[in-house]
Structure 1
Amino acid sequence: MSPDKRKALGIIVAPAEPRALKGLISAPGEVRLDAYRTLEVTPRITAQVIGRHARLGDRVEQGQRLVTLSSVEMADAQGELIEADREWQRVRRLGRKAVSEKRYIAAQVARQLAWARVRAYGMSEAQIRALLQKGDATQATGRFDLFSTLPGRVIRDDFRLGEVVEPGRILFEVSDDRVVWVEAQLEPDQAARVRVGMPARISPDGESWLEGKVIRKHHRLDEETRTLAVRIEIMNPEERVHPGEYVDVLIEADDGLARVAVPEAAVVLMQGAPTVFRVEGDELHPVPVETGITRGGWTEIRVGLAPGDPVVVQGAFFLKSLLLKSQMGEGHAH
């Protein structure tokens, strides 16, 4: 059968080629917060809560004010900064020629240390500049705000107005849940086929799916379940899944081995044996083969073909029909 005739009949020929066959690994998974997109808002000093500016469930932007605190320690630090700034401004106006080098450097260092102290206590750069612009010691009230340093949703707000909170107490937790992690638990032989970057998808109900990719493989076996965890990053723009939720996970994986393979449609059954049509010039020869795994629409050929052998990848079933007819004396196949 000439190439032109094959083309007219819709028969397509391509070489058998080594390829890593991909398949789907199914596993249970749990939705978790993306730790890299999650923020805990805590005071660094003992303070009293005097103002709330966000609530549980609110979506907040980067730089948005969340809570106002008041602290005796902060008031002392603010007062020291105002005084140190005044002295520094006086010395700087006089200039190095009018004051001693020792006084000049001492004033400069004192201001820097006072600035660093209020910054370390929790005031932002903008708040500090606003305080110094007023330049009045009566402004050293000890009030300061805590802000969100990333966009996200408030998933925790554990405090009451008027409450005195200690350093490290979590007042707010903010997480950008438009991107979440899913921890999938895999059998060791499954995990061996998975690599970082492989496509994955998850479903909370077995019907609708969210796309993602593998971003990490754990290397410690869970002693109780004897499974290995794989972390998947999932885009969740509509917030369809939430931390703590259990989901079905499918990972498109391979074992990294290159196998001689052909499209699944290239293999037909003839007399009960898997068969492909190998092309030699203008002739098409049915060749019995031994098949292996089939994944992602490709079938492994263990015996019967060599890499590069041209085979019919579309139209094999049609050729099988022609061959059967010719064997019954109803026609000829070339």
Structure 2
Amino acid sequence: MALPKIEKQIRGGLPLVGYPPYGQIHAHSTGNRASTAQNEADYMGHKDINGGFYTHVVGNGRVIQVGNVNRGAWDVGGGWNQWSYASVELIESHKTKEEFLRDYRIYVTLLRDLAKEAGIRQTLDTGELGIITHDYARQHQPYNQTDHVDPYPYLRKWGVSKEQFKKDIEKGVDTMPPKPPQGDWIKENKRVEITAKGQNTYTSFDKWRVRNKTDKLIGTQYKVTGKYNHQNGETYYSLYDIEGSWHGYINKKFVKEIKAIYQTIPGLYEALKDDTFYIDQNLKKKSAWKIKRGQTFHLEDIVKVGKYTRAKVRLNNDIRYCTMRDDYWKLKYKTKVVKIK
């Protein structure tokens, strides 16, 4: 298969480790269940290289090159650091098997292409030359100081055995798999509220695994980051809460779109209902001051307070924080940000 265009975000000044020619391509996975390819590329741009570094990241349908090849790397924690022509990290934050398989094929193809580029044989975990996993290096390299076993546990999570990975590395993978029944991912940016009882949210489309019942979720609001137009003729939204946690897929027929207040900040807002604002940044102490319907306040920003995302409001020159409530407030008029000393 053809690779996507390799994006360049290369960190300069990385040390030369060992001396060419280098006889290995190193296969890794990140071990981070939350990071994207862009997160890993950005991290490589400022991390302490004494803790290790790598040359490529694969994930989210992308390949990002973050270091120059043919220079060795501190990536397998032992003597084979000096044998590394390139070292490739696969992200571990896939939410569906379809997403994983897309990136797995890119990962395998990139490893094979780098081996070909370096004049290295396209074999996996065979002797001292070829494409080498971190796990194999741990078991066979001199001066080993690592206990990492990647990428095998993550591949196994999605049904790829050692034998299958070896076969794919040595024979290559097919072109992209047939289009899944839910179709392609389509990016969205909207806010919705669940309106129907007796329906489901789903964890996946392959076996329609139910995540939750909408009876428990009536009136709950979510951010929609994207959608799938399924071959069954229905459209399914991907739901996230205000804290960024994923809550599955839902048929768009069972939600209504609402206008989010944070799309129009900053501004002067009117309270539609009585509410209580929090005063301390840890959100442990409620303010004795309560806002009443019809009162106004200035919404400054949407900020992280502790582990939560909160509205930052100004009341009589006092900065306070409160829960996001789209149905409790309405915009009176937009204003410029007023900074409080």
TM bucket by the smaller chain?
under 0.3
Q: Which has the higher contact order (CA 8 A, sep 6+)?
A: 1
User: Which structure would you say has the larger Rg?
Assistant: 1
Larger helix proportion, structure 1 or 2?
1
Larger strand proportion, structure 1 or 2?
1
